[in-house]
Chains A and B, each alone.
Chain A
Amino acid sequence: MKLHYAFFLPAEDHSFFSKLRDGAVDAAGSMDCAITFHPIDSDPLSFEMARYSGFDGFGLYLYEKNKNKLQYLSEILKEGIPVVQIENEVIQGSGSFFIGTNNFDVGKGIGKLALDTGIDTLNMTLVYSKKNPGVMSDRNLVEMGIKSVMGNKLSGLKTEETSLNSLDAGMLAYDLLKNDPSIDIIVLTDPNDTLVTVQAMIDMNLVGMVQIIGFGEHETIKAYIEKGVILGSIVRNPYRIGYSTVMALKEISLNGYTSAYVDTGITILSRQNP
């Protein structure tokens, strides 16, 4: 019997989710099952009614612990419908599985890149983004990872946040670079924010004055790394995440169980490891 899985993802069409969808679609094609994608934010009723809709399993990217959503998720789990939580494990229990990146590892990767600057003590500004809520929802893990690697070399860690607006990172970068000359390194957690921030730094002729750690493997980001404009970049594997989610759901449907935790890992891009 052919199975139908529903993916509830943020509506943003960023590269992370595009690649995640690509991985899921390819996996569905190879495993002879159907998948449909539903917005988790803009259409909350859809998620509320999900348990009545006859789906055989869920891929859920729930990055905030919203009360209603947690309740709907609990009701789904009560129905015995398998759920794979992607990137953010907001609820734990029977029938719930996790696939994604361990954000502690993300923080450790950022710390390692920061140490490559050779600066003894660093003032770091970490910019979260709603465009990549998975990192933002586990911000504590990220920061713990950074601190575990840098120790006392991290003199200060300041956090900022950008919205879904793809250009607001530019404004934030202008403000940071103008008003806070003590910043040694800026860490971005979204590929779009990375590109916009670097462009702002180039415009202000501050290349080399402030180090940038980016996010993602966009070709332009790779080019900046090669030129030394960006120190390095943290890369997750959204395609693998999407593919693994479908694979896990299928396995649960067929066998009733799968590995409860799958870490798809990160890759650190730098001039030494392009």
Chain B
Amino acid sequence: MKNSLKERLLIYFSISMIIIVFPMGFVLINSLNLQEIADRRFEDEQFLQELQTQLIDIQIPLKSYLTSYSSSSLAKLLFIIETLNESIPSDRPVTSSNSDLIKREIYFLMDSYLVQLNQIIEQKRGRKVQQYINSYEKLINLYEYISNRIDDVSLFGFRVQLEEYRSFLELFRRIQIYGLLQILLATAFAFSVLMQTVNSIANPMYQLSLLAGKLSGGSFDIPDVHFNSVNEVNQVAEAFNDMKHNIHHNIEELKKQKEMEQQIMTEKVRNLKMEQLLKKMELYTMQAQMNPHFLFNTINTGVQLAIVEEADRTAGYMENLAALFRYNIREKQFFVSLRHELEGLKSYYNILKIRFPKTLNLLLDVENELLDSFNCPAMVIQPLVENSVLHAFKQKEGIGTIIVSVSYKDSVLLISVSDDGIGIPEETIKELLTPHTHDYKLSSRVMGLENVIQRCYFFYPGQKDVIDIKSDLDQGTEILIKIHTEVQPCIKL
């Protein structure tokens, strides 16, 4: 069966119509048949009555002719005889119908009647009085008999007709009852089919509305719906499934985009933090620098003055100081070669040797082949030495020793600055080794050591051991910078 709603309704409508139209058609056909039978019966009856009327019509002119020789009566008589001869059918089949057999009998009787009538006319013409009197008597008997037979066939026909009428009435009654039953059945059938069709549409629609409600609530894990309904509803269900999948897919895409945007935002924030840190570093660096140009020019003036006054030692001191400042001023890169870094340190050593010729012992232990092989963050060693000079030997008598060593082992460039000073308290070490967060507020009191430590953390964020402080009170302090040469610093400038 077709599953389209339109086709289904068309088929059900057609079936219902057939069921209704069939009994109606049957009743109509039988009504027409009944009418036809009645018409035929009435036609036969009418024909026989016409015959009987003509027979009656014969009697008056016959009697008139026999009694008075009336030529007009004879003419009329002959006319009726001719008419009757033409009226009586010559084809008289023998059937099983009693009515037809009686009619056949009447036609033969009519033939005999007309023959005898002609004989009487001839006898009258021949003036055979006794013969035509006897013949007339016989003819009257025959006329009466024919009339009786016509009455018989009429009565018989009427009875048959009555019986047929009763049969038809009974048949019609049955047909009407069956027709009514069929109409009731058709109505029940149509109603049940209608309800079935309505249910096949309404139930899926109700389920779809429930599912749409769930879908609007964000439940995309509901299973696909499949209905065994009409095509239209099934197509709506398929469209609903497609819509659900598409909405789900689009929402997932939106989520992914949002996550990506979130990641981008996070990245941006991180970059911003990094920029802040960089700015901080720059600030640290700037803070760590004095006004180098002014000082450099001033120191150069001092060097020239010392030469004029022939103070060689002062001139050497000032020259080293100038070299140190030059190093600081010129160096704008974050990473420099080890050689470059140590040249700055040597200038600083020379200054310190002039300042503290008898109380400070400065040692430098670096393998020459390392100097051009590796880079290190700029301005890290000199501040550490400066930190030891400033803090390690306070309130300590005797000669202080500061050793700077650089070694390379297992892909690690190890820079060590150690002293035999008073050491650093553990709390201070812990505080110093704490990485600054982006919201760390810079103070004006940024120490050189802190500067170096934070820069190391910045350059190597994944390595917590990039810098370490080992210190024993009154024994000394060693600050270690471990640079994994295989690990790239997070920034290159």
Contacts and interface: CB of A to CB of B under 8 A. Distances in A.
Interface of A: 1-4, 33-34, 36, 45-46, 48-49, 52-55
B98 A36 contact: yes
Contact of A53 (B95, B105, B141): B105
B340 interface: no
A228 to B, nearest CB: 47
A55 B94 CA distance: 10
Given A4-B94, A34-B95, A34-B101, A54 B141 contact: no
Contacts of A45: 141, 144-145, 148
Given A33-B94, A36-B98, A54 B145 contact: no
B109 A53 contact: yes
A126 B328 CA distance: 180
A4 B111 CA distance: 17
Nearest to A48: B141
A46 B102 CA distance: 12
A253 to B, nearest CB: 12
Interface string B46-78: 000000000000000000000000000000000
Interface in B142-169: 142, 144-145, 148
A54 to B, nearest CB: 3
B142 A54 contact: no
Contacts of B111: 52, 54
Nearest to A33: B94
A53 B92 CA distance: 12
Contacts of B485: none
A3 B96 CA distance: 11
B393 interface: no
A221 to B, nearest CB: 34
Given A45-B145, A49-B145, A52-B142, A34 B109 contact: no
Contacts of A48: 141, 145
B93 interface: yes
Interface string B82-109: 0000000000111110100110110111
Contact of B108 (A2, A34, A53): A53
A52 B145 CA distance: 11
B93 A54 contact: no
What 5 A-B pairs are tightest by C-beta distance, nearest first? A54-B108, A52-B112, A2-B94, A53-B105, A4-B94
A1 B104 CA distance: 14
Contacts of A2: 93-95
Nearest to A53: B105
A36 B101 contact: yes
B298 to A, nearest CB: 161
Given A34-B101, A45-B145, A52 B94 contact: no
Nearest to B104: A54
Which of A1, A52, A55 is the most central at the interface, judged by chain B CB atoms within 10 Å of its CB?
A52
A4 B101 contact: yes
Contacts of B109: 49, 52-54
A189 to B, nearest CB: 33
- A2, A36, A48, A49 interface centre (most CB from chain B within 10 Å): A49
B107 A54 contact: yes
A34 B107 contact: no
B137 to A, nearest CB: 12
B98 A52 contact: no
Nearest to B95: A34
Contacts of B104: 4, 54
Contacts of B102: 36
Question: Which among B92, B108, B113 has the highest number of chain A CB atoms within 10 Å?
Answer: B108
B392 to A, nearest CB: 153
Nearest to A51: B112
A54 B149 CA distance: 14
Given A34-B96, A49-B109, A49-B141, 6 more contacts: A2-B94, A3-B94, A34-B101, A48-B145, A52-B113, A54-B107
Nearest to B109: A52
Nearest to B106: A53
A1 B92 CA distance: 11
A46 B145 CA distance: 8
